[in-house]
Amino acid sequence: MSWDYVLELITNILVTQTGIPNLLFKQVIMMVVAFFFLYLAVAKRYEPLLLVPIGFGIFLVNFPLAPLMGYSEHGYPELLRAFYKYGVEWEIIPPMIFLGLGAMTDFGPLIANPKTLIVGAGAQLGVFITYIGTLFFGFTLKEAASVAIIGGADGPTTIYLTAKLAPQLLGANALAAYSYMAMVPLIQPPIMRLMTTSAQRRIKMRQLRPVSAREKLLFPLIAAILIILLIPAVAPLMGMFMFGNFMRECGVVKRLSDTAQQSMMNIITILLGLSVGATMKAEVFLSWKPLLIFGFGLLDFIVCTFGGILTVHIMNLFVKEKVNPLIGSAGVSAVPMAARVSNSEGLKADRTNFLLMHAMGPNLAGVIGSAAAAGMFIAMFQ
């Protein structure tokens, strides 16, 4: 065995079996991007439950030669690819998240004041404005729809729709959606103040009527019947959402409801975050697209907030009991952050004006509205 042979062996090992010589500059940039999102999650507490696994997913997937997002020699998916393939590509994880969300949701405020459903619809304005905007920038119809849904401020809905229509944009869309959801307290208040007068912000709303347990129990059934009959394409999301809520309200499957709310939700969140992060390999992510998507995502959020408040202003022209327009911004979904923002803005205007429960109505309507918008888009391409 000569020295040349040994050197060649070492070189071969270094080149083919270690990552260092294969590390590219763009992969290093992606790792910096990953650190940025981890920083946002850990230091700034921006949606840490999602941004930590997403950030770590980005970090892991950008290591050279790491067997994570490819296929084995026998055609089996590698670890993160398996999470992505069976979780996201097969459209399992987003509906499962909706199941957990349903189990966590108390529809009482929405049932007590169903008129707020209209606010949830009005707050989808940004979705459609962005849809047109992105088309001007050369996005295909499917891509435009998947970017537009970011304004719905509903992470699982965004992921579901993007995975279905434009999987190549999944990472950027999911990141934009979750980042902006975390930034709701930053983005919304100036728009809310801009669109309301001080007197309007001080409008006090009548206390919501109590909702009986029986009414809460039947709500998921009634809502599922009406929504799925009208938009069958939304059945996977809405069906799971209402099923989760039915488990919660029926009170006889507490163990299942608890599991859906906690253990299952946590596991799914880890898998989802890693899967989404794993789609953001340097060669896919480093382009104009994510920047455009982030730009349109912000526009989307702003217009959606505007749309929700505008809808309340329009409603106030027709209703006897005036609605505080601050709750309109909660129509963008982002439960319960957007409702909290409405409440805090209401308290700033009047220290005795508690809007939280009133804002939960449009907030929940926003979830249904964004899922309906997603269903509309899915149906459009069928």
Partner 1 sequence: MKIKSLTKFVWLWLACVFLMVAFAEQIVWATFGEEEEKPRPEFTRQDKKITAKLLPRAKSTSVSIDFEVSGAELIDVQGMDFEKAARPEVNHKDFKSALFIIEMLADSPGAEAKVSVSSDFFIRSTQFWIFNQKLETPWMNTGAQNLDHPEHVQELVIKVKDGGPFDSDMNADGRITIIGGPKDSFWGYALGTLFIRYFGIFIVLSILMLGMIFSGKIFQHLEDKKTKATSKPAALTVQVEKAEKPEVADEGITAEMATAIAAALHLHFSGSRASQPMSVSSLRPTAWAQQGRAQTIGERLMMYHRNKR
Considering the complex, state which of residue 135 and residue 250 has its C-beta at the smaller distance from partner 1. Answer: 135
Residues between 251 and 270 that touch partner 1 (CB under 8 A): none
Query: How far is the C-alpha of 81 from the C-alpha of 87, rounded, in Å?
Result: 9
Interacting residue with partner 1 among 81, 142, 201, 248 (CB under 8 A): 142
From CA 101, how far away is CA 117, in angstroms rounded?
18
Contact by Cβ (8 Å): 224, 239: yes
Is 160 a binding residue for partner 1 by CB under 8 A? The answer is no
Q: Does 39 bind partner 1 (CB under 8 A)?
A: no
Residue 150 beta carbon to partner 1: minimum distance, rounded to whole angstroms: 14
Q: Taking CB under 8 A as the rule, does residue 135 contact partner 1?
A: yes
The count of residues in the chain is 382
Give the single-character DSSP code of 71.
Answer: B
CA distances to 27, 132, 174, 228, 374 from 277, rounded to whole Å, are 14, 28, 9, 31, 22
Among 38, 88, 96, 125, binds partner 1 (CB under 8 A): 125
Verify binding: residue 330, partner 1, rule CB under 8 A: no
The smaller minimum CB distance to partner 1, of residues 45 and 254, is found at 45
Residue 108's nearest CA partner among 234, 187, 213, 1 is 213
The stretch among 12-20, 56-64, 159-167, 251-259 that binds partner 1 (CB under 8 A) is 159-167
* Angle at CA of residue 24, ends 19 and 27, nearest 5°: 95
Taking CB under 8 A as the rule, does residue 165 contact partner 1?
Answer: yes
Give the ranges where 107-169 is alpha helix by DSSP (H). 108-112, 116-122, 125-136, 141-148, 155-165
Q: Count residues binding partner 1 (CB under 8 A).
A: 68
CB of 319 to partner 1, least distance (A): 13
Nearer to partner 1, 88 or 260 (CB): 88
**CA–CA gap between residue 192 and residue 328 (Å, rounded):** 9
237 binds partner 1 (CB under 8 A): no
Question: Of these, 87, 100, 108, 120, which contacts partner 1 (CB under 8 A)?
Answer: 120
Q: Is residue 231 within the footprint of partner 1 (CB under 8 A)?
A: yes
AA identity, residue 267: I
* Alpha-carbon 325 to chain mean position: 24
Helix axes 184-194, 288-316, angle to 10 degrees: 40
For 39, other C-beta atoms within 10 Å of its C-beta total 13
Nearer to partner 1, 143 or 271 (CB): 143
Computed on alpha carbons and rounded to an integer, the radius of gyration of the chain in Å comes to 23
Please give the angle made by the CA atoms of 315, 317 and 320, to the nearest 5 degrees. 85
What does the per-residue mask of binding to partner 1 show for 52-91, with x meaning CB under 8 A? ----------------------------------------
Of residues 10 and 222, the one with the C-beta less far from partner 1: 222
Residue 319's Cβ-side half-sphere holds a number of Cα atoms within 13 Å equal to 16
- Tell me if 295 contacts partner 1 by CB under 8 A: yes
Question: Which residue in 58, 203, 298, 356 binds partner 1 (CB under 8 A)?
Answer: 298
Q: Binding to partner 1 by residue 168, rule CB under 8 A?
A: yes
Q: Which is nearer to partner 1, 53 or 331 (CB)?
A: 331
Going by C-alpha positions, the residue among 337, 308, 333 that lies closest to residue 323 is 308
Residues at the site binding partner 1, with contacts judged by CB under 8 A:
110-112, 114-115, 117-118, 120-122, 124-125, 127-128, 131-132, 135-144, 164-166, 168-169, 185-187, 189-190, 209, 212, 214-215, 218-219, 222-223, 226-227, 230-231, 287-289, 291-292, 294-295, 298-299, 365, 368-369, 372-373, 376-378, 380-382
